[in-house]
Chain A
Amino acid sequence: MNIPILSVMTFTPLVGAVIIPFLPKGRDTLVKWIALISTLPALLCAAWIFYAFQRGVAEMQFVEGPLEWIAAYHIQYYLGIDGLATPMAILTPLISTICIIASWNISKQVKGYFSLFLLLQTGMTGVFVALDFFLFYIFWEVMLLPMYFLIGIWGGPRREYAAIKFFLYTLLGSVMMLLVMIAFYFYSDGNTFNILKLADQSIHIGPMTAHSFRLICWLGLMIGFAIKVPVFPFHTWLPDAHVEAPTAISVILAGILLKMGTYGMIRFCFPIFPDITFELAKWIAIFGMINIIYGALCAMAQKDFKRLIAYSSISHMGFCLLGMASFTSEGMNGAVLQMFNHGTITAQLFLIVGIIYDRVHHRDIDGFGGLAHIMPRYAVWTAIAFFAALGLPGLSGFISEALVFLGAFKMWPVITAISAVGVVLTAAYILWTYQRIFLGAKNEKYAGLPEINWRETVTLAPLALIVLILGIYPKALLDIMNATLVSINAIFIK
């Protein structure tokens, strides 16, 4: 089989994005179906990748290229996925398809919405499959634009502020990355943007061999990625963007965009600057700890349901940082598994917020109460997602958090011990929220609320299923990741 499967997965949504604006006016349902149909090939590709990916191989698979793109700068079209990229490459089409279904109730400027959404999907997929730094950068930036419009046009009351804040923050991060990228090009032997070649320390030349210059480059990349994660002092765009974005876009933001930050750290900072990463690993762990505790404390203080989930994302992404800073195979596996799990769990949480918001048009946690009497099935779906988020054994969140702690404790016992408090805090705010929304006396104001419908169930069910399966049988994903992560880790053990 010689189908360029990664290209198909990346660019079929783009085809949809180009077709949709030319569809006749007023045919909104048609637009939605076309959007759904153009994401399906990507989903099938993802399924095929999951099936055909060779377990136990650390190298890149499904490689396409390298093909010459711009000869003058040795820019190549070069795609491939390994154990680090594959979970994300599978997650992206999955979440995107679910989001298209979740966006079925969009009624304002439908063509624009779905066209931009599909463009966004192309950008996101491209980031995870690109092996050329320049190509990676193009995909990374292509994503910003649709995101800006999706928040700014279809968002909540403060959408304009949130949209420009998101754009400025992320652009600041990415231009720093741009400079480092150019520095790589000039200070690598043979002038290359090839990510795999750059990991070879022997081709670094000139200032790129000097410690201080490497430190600055490392920081440039790291801050670029940290803004995306977001790591503690750079996180302020996230609650705004999340709260104002429409439901499906919040899901994309939390489910996929945040992972790009941690993915970038492991893909670039770790193999290309192993010395600096090792030197500053303590700080990665400390910032991970701050994220976990600070995010959880902020979440606890929120009155807005969606803002609470946004802060819980910050907290959960902290586990990824803590895990990757451990330089143990458990910690690394935990971090990447946490990226995937957080994608599925938080996607559910945001969908759940969206479902209730569509019905009552507010998100005030204290304004509900007793919903379990009115919408029992909704309460059950929420319970699954909530328990997964707080790390209940048997659900996927537990596995990744446990792996992270196992790995991190060997390297950073004190930091890990403090971070463990975060688990308790998480349980506290999640259970407290569940109690305030679903338990207690029946709120007569909402007695007539309709139960969760089949479309909403379709969006939640696959994610809940994955959470259950990975909770019981994490090997399904760990097998894919392990070989690559062990080989990245091997750089540091030397």
Chain B
Amino acid sequence: MPNLYSLQFFIPELILVFVSLALILASAGRQGLRPARVQAGWSKDLPIYISITGLVLSFIFVVRQFAVGSPPLFWGLLILDKPAVFFKLIFVVTALIVIIFSAFNISAIRRSCEYYALISGAVLGMNLLAMADNILMIYLALEFVSLTSYLLVGWDKSSPKSGEAALKYVLYGAVASGVFLFGSSIYYGLTGTLDIGPLTAAFCHTSAYKMAGLFMLAGFFYKIAAVPLQAWCPDAYEGAPTPVTAFLSVAPKSAGFAVLIRVFGEIGGTLGWPIIIAAISAVTMTFGNLSAIPQNNLKRLLAYSSIAHAGYLLMGVACATAGGDKAVSFYFIAYLIMNLGAFLVVQMAGEELSSYSGLARRGGYGALIAIAMTVFLLSLTGVPPFFGFVGKFYLFSAVIDAKLYWLAIVGIINSVISLYYYMRVVKTMFFDEAVSADSFAKPDRTLTALLIILSLATVVFGLYWQWFSRLVEFVTAG
């Protein structure tokens, strides 16, 4: 589809471009004002409102895109199919929730225009990644997402950890994208095209072609934090401000999966990916779960848990069936709710495990937070009646349907291992002595409301998920 004609399908992205630019301009306009006036003036919450409005508008336009069929845009660089629309919704919703987190964060990000500009920009990059149907486009979008992520991770300039985290993130990112580029250049050299599409040529069986595929996987594995490119993850998560960590743990991971599923569906079979992905899946979840056990920092613990979840989700990809894609999509809905919920608790109650001691005994809000955290953690474990269980149920169903029995067994053993470290947090909150006799300080009302909504959603959707089931059915139907 020609460029100008494509623009009508590009409205959500155009809105995001506009929002990012507007926020940057607003930031420039503020430079002349004294900080005291920024704090007191009418414009203090302006960036929050601008970005929320933009994201909500973008959300509405994305929802409408379910009805457009699957047109290729910009001469086939992008494709707007239903899975892409679905993942775009995941990004926008994540960004909206994270902005609510950020609006009540105590650190410097709260009123900074650039921060919100970067969040919108990251969503734009992820939208492109989810729609990308061309290797060059994938590379550009990957870099776009990575660059915004580096900046977000290093946002807290006063914290040396934040800087260190950003540097590690950049270094790993550079290696991963270099390897990806190397792989794509071999691919281009062999096929003579940057489009990804089913190939039947004889060179599909050459080892160079297989090697190209292997190197290209590096870019995706880095984005979703799968072994062996997971090492940046705990440091970046720990160093970044909590809202950013929450954002990173859901949005770029789902973007990585969106593009992985697309590429896998088109050429994964000829590249010999199914067995590689199944193996990486088993290794990743085992590594994530075992490493999470000794962690005493909640952000690191959740980082390893998110590595483990990348492993679970890879099980769905490894199935190479429609059921597998459906399960991955479904799991992301559950993952969004429960993981953001867990990070919300981290923002409200602190990131060191010791600060959770006896939380449940410290008056009304302490008990509320402790119960909500228990719900999120058990949901992450995959215990009924929580939403995460349904997600796991879909994943295991897909794996068994694809006859990968050994992977299913590795997966369930990992679920049991993960119970141990999640319950360690629960144990600390409920069984240990309270750190102080004071009742827990009253948290902000909006955040409390968000916490209650997320935890109720985790329980309610764990018992009734027919709508989401229909949604993913519709999305993966083709």
Contact = CB atoms under 8 A, between A and B. Distances in A.
Interface in A373-393: none
A178 B393 contact: yes
Given A70-B464, A138-B384, A179-B396, A167 B412 contact: no
Contacts of B413: 172, 175
B364 to A, nearest CB: 9
B416 interface: yes
B409 interface: yes
Contact of A171 (B393, B400, B419, B463): B419
Interface in B296-311: none
A491 interface: no
A144 interface: yes
B427 A164 contact: yes
B465 interface: yes
A137 B390 CA distance: 12
A175 B415 contact: yes
B400 A186 contact: yes
Interface in B375-400: 378, 383-385, 389, 393, 396-397, 400
A70 B464 CA distance: 7
A73 B393 CA distance: 11
B143 interface: no
Interface residues of B, number: 29
A163 B396 CA distance: 27
B383 A171 contact: yes
A52 interface: no
A493 interface: no
Given A145-B378, A186-B401, A178 B412 contact: yes
Interface in B396-445: 396-397, 400-401, 408-409, 412-413, 415-416, 419-420, 423, 427, 430-431
Given A145-B378, A172-B416, A179-B409, A70 B469 contact: yes
Interface stretch (A148-156, A254-262, A429-437, A474-482): A148-156
A148 B423 CA distance: 10
B157 interface: no
Given A72-B469, A149-B430, A164-B427, A171 B397 contact: no
Contacts of A172: 413, 416
B383 A168 contact: no
A168 B293 CA distance: 14
B400 A72 contact: no
Contacts of B473: 72
B31 interface: no
Nearest to B383: A141
A421 interface: no
- If over half of A's interface residues share one DSSP class (helix, strand or loop), that class is named, otherwise mixed; here it is helix
A163 B432 CA distance: 14
B397 A72 contact: no
Contacts of B420: 164, 168
Interface string A179-216: 10011011000000000000000000000000000000
B470 interface: yes
A176 interface: yes
B416 A171 contact: yes
A78 B470 CA distance: 22
A141 B384 contact: yes
A75 to B, nearest CB: 10
Nearest to A138: B384
B469 to A, nearest CB: 4
B156 to A, nearest CB: 36
A179 B409 CA distance: 8
A9 to B, nearest CB: 19
Q: Among B396, B413, B464, B473, find the residue whose CB has the most chain A CB atoms closer than 10 A.
A: B396
A164 B417 CA distance: 11
A131 B383 CA distance: 20
A167 B419 contact: yes
Contact of B430 (A138, A141, A152): A152
Interface in A66-98: 69-73
A138 B465 CA distance: 14
A70 B466 contact: yes
B470 A72 contact: yes
B431 A153 contact: yes
A159 interface: yes
A142 interface: yes
Contacts of B431: 152-153, 159-160
Contacts of B396: 178-179, 182
Given A72-B473, A142-B384, A176 B400 contact: no
Nearest to A186: B401
A179 B419 contact: no
A295 B409 CA distance: 31
B380 to A, nearest CB: 14
Given A71-B466, A160-B427, A167-B419, A179 B408 contact: yes
A168 B416 contact: yes
A450 B147 CA distance: 75
A31 to B, nearest CB: 15
B282 to A, nearest CB: 15
A70 B465 contact: yes
B464 A179 contact: no
Contacts of A182: 393, 396-397, 400
A47 B412 CA distance: 40
Given A152-B431, A186-B397, A179 B423 contact: no
Given A152-B431, A175-B416, A182-B400, A145 B383 contact: yes
A164 B412 contact: no
A136 to B, nearest CB: 11
B401 A176 contact: no
B278 to A, nearest CB: 16
A175 B412 contact: yes
B423 A167 contact: yes
Interface in A204-245: none
A163 B423 CA distance: 10
Nearest to A173: B416
A185 B473 CA distance: 18
Contact of B419 (A72, A159, A168, A176): A168
A163 B409 CA distance: 25
A484 to B, nearest CB: 28
A179 B384 contact: no
Q: Among B415, B431, B463, B470, find the residue whose CB has the most chain A CB atoms closer than 10 A.
A: B431
A164 B423 contact: yes
A141 B473 CA distance: 27
A114 B310 CA distance: 38
Interface string B447-464: 000000000000000011
A148 to B, nearest CB: 7
A183 B383 contact: no
A138 B459 CA distance: 12
Contacts of B412: 175-176, 178-179
B263 to A, nearest CB: 27
Contacts of A137: 384
A164 B381 CA distance: 14
Interface of A: 69-73, 137-138, 141-142, 144-145, 148-149, 152-153, 159-160, 163-164, 167-168, 171-172, 175-176, 178-179, 182-183, 185-186
6 contacts: A72-B470, A145-B383, A153-B430, A153-B431, A179-B396, A179-B409
Q: Which 6 A-B pairs have the closest CB atoms?
A: A175-B412, A72-B469, A141-B384, A138-B384, A182-B400, A172-B416
Given A153-B430, A175-B413, A175-B415, 5 more contacts: A70-B465, A149-B430, A168-B420, A182-B396, A186-B401
